[in-house]
Amino acid sequence: MDVLVTPTPKLSGEIQALSSKNYTTRYLLVAALAEGTSTIYYPAHSEDSDAMRRCIRDLGAVVEEDEEKIVITGFGGAPKDVKELNVGNAGAVLRFLMSIAALSPEVTFINVYPDSLGKRPHDDLIDALQQMGVEVEHREGKLPITIRGGQAKGGKIKVSGSVSSQFLSSLLFLTPLLAEDSEIEVLHDLKSKVVVGQTLEVLEQAGIVIHASEDLMHYRIPGGQTYKAQSYTVQGDYPGSAAVLAAAAVTESDVTIHRLEEKSKQGERAIVDVLRMMEVPLTHDNGVVNVKGNGKLKALEFDGDAATDAVLAMVAAAVFAEGTSRFYNVENLRYKECDRITDYLAELRKAGARVEERQSEIIVHGRPEGVEGGVDIDAHYDHRVIMALTVVGLRAKAPIRIHDAHHVAKSYPIYFDHLKALGANVEWIEA
């Protein structure tokens, strides 16, 4: 399905933020690794969270759900013996479960998105698992991947953090279950470091003890631990909400989003500070963000690594800012659902944006007068490209058509419903 985005000068109304994808995948996993029954209130409903739900069920967790919650009886440290797992297009789900698969004799992760997840590298995690005595069969670090575990051992483990934080998070979920104590040393730079804070927070809630150095580069993990069954409540999602806030920032607007905690560990809450620095009128109190956009924005420079999943939305806002913006330290955007630098900028350019790329930077020469639009956009299988290009389309001079916009469901299936509720002119059309 495609979406036609027709220029919309004004947005107004209130929405509830959807539930956090990153917390939902983590809570589902720690509930599955516990031996008793856990309850997760307000879980996210999206393709990625569905992928985790499906896989933990395949691995032996009992999952029951109603409108408001999911109740999970876990399999503890002993997953059911399965041959294959299908993680859809979800990078975090694949990487977290690659370690958990080391508790099973043999599991193959199949390749159902060859042009998206199928192109992403997992070598650094494969290397760490091999250090632990796990046999891994792979195609140059990519899917399909077969893990032969059963004899995974703790001890000293080194993992590179220069491509993704998900490899480290993955090892942090597995090592407490091993008989031996473990020590993890992160090599090189740790990208998306703030997301590791979410992993540590969830592990602590699940009763797991991890001794982390202040810089998050060294860990001591006692072995022989068990995950406790608990009740969890999922907070609102900043990465998805960042796109809606960017849409409000580039239009004349009065838009309110509820359920966005000021003190959240989600780095993407920086969208609020970034829009403030761009001089967008907004308030953020008691978990409620209100943007009263006047269409005027100022350029800024920003270290995007702290807010990796909100950078595309920030760039979309910068397309209409006065001056030149620079988003630096964002090289790992190249290893996501698509190359979020080269592929994303190619689509922005089609719509009329003036953008330049460096290996680890996005430079945006703002066009406050608006962009031409009137073009067809390729989604590159990427929900965040779809959301960000929609923001640009709302302030273009002619409609844009986003092809395969249904991939927005990876994280935010009701994105277009939410935008419509705020008055945006967005329509699904048959491809």
Ligand X SMILES: O=C(O)C1=C[C@@H](OP(=O)(O)O)[C@@H](O)[C@H](O)C1
Residue 192: name its binding partner from ligand X, ligand PEP, none (Cβ under 5 to 8 Å by kind). Answer: ligand X
Residue 170: name its binding partner from ligand X, ligand PEP, none (Cβ under 5 to 8 Å by kind). Answer: none
Does position 269 interact with ligand PEP (CB under 6 A)? The reply is: no
- Pull the structure tokens for residue 407: 């991939």
Would you say 21 is a known binding-site residue? yes
Does position 26 interact with ligand PEP (CB under 6 A)? The reply is: no
- How far apart are CB 365 and ligand PEP at their closest, in Å? 25
Binding-site member from 191, 284, 336, 395 for ligand PEP (CB under 6 A): 336
CA pair distance 320, 9, nearest whole angstrom:
13
Query: Measured at CB, which residue is nearest to ligand PEP?
Result: 91
Does position 91 interact with ligand PEP (CB under 6 A)? The reply is: yes
CA angle 246, 252, 255 (to 5 degrees): 60
- How far apart are CB 314 and ligand PEP at their closest, in Å? 14
Taking Cα atoms as reference points, which of 173, 181, 170, 172 lies closest to residue 95?
170
Query: Residue 246 phi/psi, 5° resolution?
Result: -65, -40
Would you say 332 is a known binding-site residue? yes
Asked if omega into 144 is within 30° of 0 (cis), the reply is: yes
- How far apart are CB 374 and ligand PEP at their closest, in Å? 28
Do the beta carbons of residue 334 and residue 302 sit within 8 Å?
no
- Pull the structure tokens for residue 408: 């927005």
Does position 411 interact with ligand PEP (CB under 6 A)? The reply is: yes
- How far apart are CB 292 and ligand X at their closest, in Å? 29
**Residue 159 contacts by C-beta under 8 Å, 6 or more apart in sequence?**
124, 125, 127, 128, 167, 168, 171, 184, 185, 186, 187
Would you say 166 is a known binding-site residue? yes
Q: Which residue among 48, 50, 309, 343 is the active-site one?
A: 309
Taking Cα atoms as reference points, which of 407, 74, 30 lies closest to residue 208?
30
DSSP E strands in 132-259: the ranges are 135-139, 142-148, 155-160, 182-187, 211-212, 218-221, 231-233, 252-258
Does position 311 interact with ligand PEP (CB under 6 A)? The reply is: no
C-beta of 165 vs 175, nearer to ligand PEP:
165
Is position 378 annotated as part of the catalytic site? no
Exposure string for 339-360, b = 16+ CB within 10 A, e = fewer:
bbbebbbbbbebbbbebebeeb
Residues in the annotated binding site: 21, 26, 91, 120, 164-166, 192, 309, 332, 336, 340, 384, 410
Question: Which residues does the annotation mark as catalytic?
Answer: 309
Residues marked as binding for 3-phosphoshikimate? 21, 26, 164-166, 192, 309, 332, 336
Q: Which residues bind ligand PEP (CB under 6 A)?
A: 90-92, 309, 336-337, 384, 411
